[in-house]
Amino acid sequence: MSTIPDTKDSAEASVEQTVGWLSRMLLIRRFEERAEQLTLRGKIPGGVHPAVGQEATAVGVASVLTTADTVSAPHRGHHHALAKGMSPDRLMAELFGKATGVSGGRGGSMHLADFEIGFIGSNGIVGASVGVALGDAFAAHYRHEQRVAVAFFGDGGVNTGRTWEAVNLASAWKLPLVVVCENNLYAVETPTAEVTGGGSIVRRAEGFGVAAVSVDGQDVGEVREAASAAKKRALAGEGPTFIEARTYRYSGHGSGEGPGAYRTVDEIEQWRSSRDPIMRLRAALAKAGQITDDEYARLETEADREVDEAVRFAEESPWPDE
Ligand SMILES: Cc1ncc(C[n+]2csc(CCOP(=O)(O)OP(=O)(O)O)c2C)c(N)n1
Ligand SMILES: [Mg+2]
């Protein structure tokens, strides 16, 4: 599996690192597209919440993290896991419910964990990922460990109390917590803007005394820069940062949802054609003469091969009780 080079807390990146982010975003996209198909074919029991379109938020943040830094994730969490370095084989096996899965096949899509890589768990309770990371941020602080805990959560979690309880305590105790709200505009079929008082998520976070910033979540470099600043702040003992990453999911809330029910096909197409994070990074690299069409095609082929291999691994793995 390709790995994202360890970039410590520097926002500077080499060409090799940048191509590494492109390759990881492609892997996530292909993985998610395949996972949705396999769910619809009955190979993956239950459903999945695909993160197609949201690749740059996860990869941009993960690009400044080391294995010692931790990530907790919400129900839509495959991209965070893959960005943090989870094996696609063991992730796919978990979705299949196989014993070789990261949670022994007992957790499924919304209960992923791999402590070896600092992925401390995803869960399906909206807003709860922030509390999980808060606990780990407290542990890091208490043990004087130089590391950060990152919580990803969705805009739906902006309107639930537990999110702000965690942000408040992190602020009061200056804990090394980085809270990343992936604002994809919808919580299931509810447009979040219609149910969010005060309008600005960032202003709400600022009310708790934390540094807060809103970034273009479709721009991996912009996400990385914000994450790098947040990590520096946390390691300097200056406490948590709240990052709103404005993004979009191309798929439905869950696998199999058709377009058009609560958002227009035009809106989805608009995001896909003009703001796609993979397309944008590829174009930036090409413009700088850092990637050719052939090289990009090779990255796509490699992503497909990794996903094929993950599916084969999952298919051939035993069930938990075998
Ligand atoms: C406490 C709680 N309430 C309700 C739900 C049902 N539910 C599952 S996902 C979801 C919306 C989540 O939206 P958001 O946080 O924006 O994440 P996204 O799905 O857009 O990634 C809801 C309400 C839940 N899982 N947990
Ligand atoms: Mg949302």
How large is the average pLDDT for residues 64-75? 98
Q: Is residue 120 within 8 Å of 41, Cβ to Cβ?
A: no
Q: Is residue 50 within 8 Å of 33, Cβ to Cβ?
A: yes
Q: What is the mean pLDDT of the chain?
A: 95
| pLDDT for residue 4 | 45
Most ligand 1 atoms within 8 A of CB, residue of 109, 123, 126 to mutate = 126
The model's pLDDT over 229-283, given as tens digits with 9 standing for 90+, comes to: 999 999 999 999 999 999 999 999 999 898 778 999 999 999 999 999 999 999 9
How large is the average pLDDT for residues 202-211? 98
Quote the pTM value.
0.96
Domain extents in the chain: 15-315
For residues 233 and 110, give the distance between their C-alpha atoms in angstroms, rounded to a whole number: 30
Q: Which long-range contacts (CB under 8 A, 24 or more apart) does 189-194 make?
A: 189/253, 189/261, 189/262, 190/156, 190/262, 191/262, 191/263, 192/155, 192/156, 192/158, 192/159
| pLDDT for residue 11 | 61
184 lines ligand 1 (CB under 6 A): yes
195 lines ligand 1 (CB under 6 A): no
Six-digit token string for 194: 């219609």
Kindly give, in sequence order, each residue whose CB lies less than 8 Å from that of residue 276, ignoring residues fewer than 6 positions away: 53, 218
The full DSSP string for 108-139 is -TT---BGGGTEEEE-SSTTHHHHHHHHHHHH
| pLDDT for residue 9 | 43
| pLDDT for residue 2 | 39
How large is the average pLDDT for residues 64-85? 98
Q: Is the pLDDT of residue 10 over 60?
A: no
Domain 15-315 belongs to what architecture? 3-Layer(aba) Sandwich (3.40)
How large is the average pLDDT for residues 85-95? 98
What atom in ligand 1 is closest to the CA of residue 75? Answer: 9
Q: How far is the CA of 188 from the centre of ligand 1 (A)?
A: 7
CA-based end-to-end distance of the chain: 28
For residues 243 and 53, give the distance between their C-alpha atoms in angstroms, rounded to a whole number: 18
Q: How far is the CA of 290 from the centre of ligand 1 (A)?
A: 39
187 lines ligand 1 (CB under 6 A): yes
Ion ligand 2 residue ranges (Cβ < 5 Å): 154-155, 184, 187
251 lines ligand 1 (CB under 6 A): no
53 lines ligand 1 (CB under 6 A): no
Q: How far is the CA of 187 from the centre of ligand 2 (A)?
A: 4
- For the chain, what is the total number of helices (H) and then of strands (E)? 11, 8
